């Protein structure tokens, strides 16, 4: 049972390059989320998808786009990477309201 | 504006003793609170949760207490074990978002349990 799978696990980009982070869940969950974790700041929500076919902005959406490709997959795209986007990115999913989110193991992204 | 705060970046306790991790929040409309544990190079894993209609929830060695008047919650681990050494995040369900599950996280507290 894989749960939430994120690819790649590590990536180094140059400023201005584009990149898509992939996330897939096999738990038949309705909602999916993208967070970033920076030192001393906990996890901050970038975008989320409450259900297949919908996406909404979170706390820190600037510089990112998302696609809910189907119920299983939710991708995060950086169109023009900036050093401020160096972070660890986590994808999460959950079935419905007031149930815990399940997280992937993260993508560590460095932008030079 | 940090709506969920964990004011202690780190905590060290002896194996077998109680660990108490604290979390404060500012938004009185939060109605669901969770604790996550995170090991290095892994994603956060869900530990325990509490609804705002309760003041205590217990699961084995883990108990979460909620004091709504003080806007404070705490996680008690007893007895603490070396395997409990991790970063602990508290999180709250955002106002008006019970159906979307948007969580607001604290900064995390690193717990070290010494053998």
Start-to-end CA span in chain B (Å): 38
pLDDT of residue B71: 96
Instruction: Please tell me the predicted confidence (pLDDT) of residue B94.
Output: 65
What pLDDT shows up at residue B48? Answer: 97
Taking residues B66-88, report their average pLDDT. 97
Own/partner long-range contacts of A22-28 (Cβ < 8 Å, ≥24 apart): A22/A73, A22/A75, A23/A73, A23/A74, A23/A75, A23/A76, A23/A91, A23/A104, A24/A72, A24/A73, A24/A74, A25/A72, A25/A91, A25/A93, A25/A102, A26/A1, A26/A2, A26/A72, A27/A3, A27/A93, A27/A95, A27/A102, A28/A71, A28/A95
pLDDT tens, residue by residue, B60-76: 999 999 999 999 999 99
Are A100 and B46 in contact (CB < 8 Å)?
yes
Q: What number is the average pLDDT over the span B18-41?
A: 94
Nearest CA in chain A to B108: A42
Give the mutation candidate from B1, B2, B40, B43 for the A interface (greatest A CB count, under 10 A): B43
Per-residue pLDDT, A96: 78
* Pairing relationship of beta strands A19-25 and A4-7 according to DSSP bridges: antiparallel
pLDDT at B96: 54
Give which of A98, A99, A105, A106 to mutate to test B binding, by max B Cβ within 10 Å: A98
B chain contacts of residue A51, beta-carbon cutoff 8 Å: none
Mean pLDDT, 10 residues at a time, over chain A (112 residues)? 91 96 96 94 93 92 95 96 97 87 96 96
pLDDT of residue B77: 98
* Percent of chain B whose pLDDT exceeds 70: 93
Chain A residues in contact with B108 by the CB 8 A cut-off are 42
């Amino acid at each position: 049972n894989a749960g939430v799978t994120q690819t790649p696990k590590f990536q180094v980009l140059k400023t201005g390059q584009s990149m898509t982070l992939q996330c897939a869940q096999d738990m038949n969950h309705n909602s999916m989320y993208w967070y970033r974790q920076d030192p001393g700041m906990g996890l901050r929500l970038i975008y989320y998808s409450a259900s297949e076919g919908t996406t909404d902005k979170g706390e820190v959406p600037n510089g990112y786009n998302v696609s809910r490709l189907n119920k299983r997959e939710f991708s995060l795209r950086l169109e023009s990477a900036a050093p401020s986007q160096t972070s660890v990115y986590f994808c999460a999913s959950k079935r419905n309201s007031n149930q815990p989110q399940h997280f992937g193991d993260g993508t560590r992204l460095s932008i030079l | 504006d940090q709506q969920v705060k964990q004011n202690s970046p780190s905590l060290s306790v002896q194996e077998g003793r109680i660990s108490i991790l604290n979390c404060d929040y500012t938004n009185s409309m939060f109605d669901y609170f969770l604790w996550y544990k995170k090991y290095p190079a892994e994603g956060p894993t869900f530990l325990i949760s509490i609804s705002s209609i309760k003041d205590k929830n217990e699961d084995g060695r883990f108990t979460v207490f909620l004091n709504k008047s003080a806007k404070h919650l705490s996680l008690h681990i007893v007895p603490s074990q070396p395997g409990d050494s991790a970063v602990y995040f508290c999180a709250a369900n955002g106002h008006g978002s019970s159906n979307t599950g948007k969580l607001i996280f604290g900064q995390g507290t690193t717990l070290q349990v010494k053998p």
